[in-house]
Amino acid sequence: MDRMQLRALAKINLGLDVLRKREDGYHEVRMIMQTVHIFDQLQLEKRQEKGIRVRTNLYYLPENENNLVFKAAKLLWEEFGLPGGISIELKKYIPVAAGMAGGSSDAAAVLFGMNRMYGLGLSMEELMERGVQIGADVPYCIMRGTALAEGIGEELSPLPPMPPCTILVAKPGIGVSTRFVFENLKAGELERHPDIDRMVEALRNQDLRALAREMDGGNVLETVTVPAYPVIQKLKDAMLRAGALGALMSGSGPTVFGIFESRQEAKRAFGVLKRGHLAKQIFLTTPYNHKQQGRESE
């Protein structure tokens, strides 16, 4: 296999709690991760010339070792002493610096693709072990679906799939630094924590409304990001007024998502957000589960 086309799917956080800051500087988290059908496209192709070549459709993205897809390719390249070179064409559609793990998902796709193309024989668990060397979200992006993430995000437990629904995703025209958010988070002074266990129970019961109720205050990083970027709260409020069962910031932001029982309601809310000019990018999507299509593009 000399060429492969892949889809790298985005994620949202149905709940995100930070338990403490560890002595090594990392934060211990407890999160519910959910893959959604918003994706980047990658094409991997073997080359005779040595080296890794990365090309993207966005001028401001790095095409060197500062891009996670380059790091992923280099990791397997060096470990297995692979022959020749590889070309990676990346078309970005997942919002950048948005709390949706776009870069981590791209890196996960490269690990998955190279494992297949070069017949490396690595299991999913072995790919995940390598992925955490690139970033804390990469193992989850290899696993995908609905999962409880603990530790720094690398300890993963599969959960029942999210109930069928439509998800409205809106990213305002700002970028948020994850480092800024965590550096300014006062983990030891948080007055309120989301009930992650009740969210897990709602998933086990396939109770969408119960899950959405727990989303109120369900991301402790909002205590930093919302005061710094008030448009995030405006987006949440607009979605709730438009009929969302729940609305929450994903990751460290600034992306906001709302959960809707019907696609018709979500489409109306899409129109409200578009007319309000609160967001630069707006998507209507659905939750991914493992019964659906794989990574490779048609």
Q: Tokens 């709260």 label which residue? A: 233
DSSP single-letter state for residue 219:
B
Q: Indicate if 237 belongs to the active site.
A: no
Q: Which residue has the tokens 């988070």?
A: 185
Task: Name the active-site residue from 11, 71, 171, 236.
Answer: 11
Q: Based on the residue annotation, tell me whether 11 is a catalytic residue of this protein.
A: yes
User: Cα–Cα distance between 257 and 259 in angstroms, integer?
Assistant: 7
DSSP state of 162: P
Identify the active-site residue in 17, 40, 106, 137: 137
Nearest alpha carbon to residue 297 among 89, 33, 85, 82: 89
DSSP assigned state of 165: -
Beta bridge partners of 257: 169, 248
Closest CA to 18 of 6, 8, 32, 30: 30
Torsion angle, alpha carbons of 26, 125, 149, 262, to 10: 140
Residue at 285: amino acid letter: T
Residue type, 118: Y
Which DSSP symbol is given to 104?
A: H
As annotated, the active-site residues are 11, 137
